[in-house]
Amino acid sequence: MIGDTADPRRPPSPLWGDDRTMIVVHDYRGHRTEAEAVRADERWNAVVRIRRILSSDKLHVDTVTRFKLTAEHGERAGDVWAKRWIDVKEGG
């Protein structure tokens, strides 16, 4: 079963019968962002993926360390970080 091979640090996924979530922004200033919660001991961080839309540029992946109390808060922190990264990179 696919769920058996999942990373134990990540919350479960609704696609595989559990409650894993991910924040996806399909178009923020020409970029697609994804923020997925990752367990860090008793707290939550986020893995963030940023890709420019309609571009062959490489995907930017980073782990945002925020040690939030819930997976949802970790994902929100990752989403905010991704948007700030894009704003700085794009000069605005």
pLDDT of residue 16: 42
pLDDT tens across 26-62, in order?
Answer: 999 999 999 999 999 899 999 999 999 999 989 999 9
20 vs 34: CA distance, rounded Å? 13
Residue 49 near residue 63 (C-beta atoms within 8 A): no
pLDDT of residue 4: 43
67 vs 88: CA distance, rounded Å? 23
pLDDT at 82 over 80: yes
Pair type for strands 43-52 and 31-40? antiparallel
Residue percentage of the chain with pLDDT more than 70: 77
Look up the pTM and report it.
0.77
Q: Which CATH number describes the domain made up of 21-89?
A: 3.30.160.350
Structural domain spans, the chain: 21-89
pLDDT of residue 91: 81
pLDDT of residue 3: 41
CB atoms within 10 A of CB 60: 16
pLDDT at 7 over 60: no
Quickly list DSSP for 20-81. Answer: --EEEEEEETTEEEEEEEEEETTEEEEEEEEEETT--PPPEEEEEEEEESSHHHHHHHHHHH
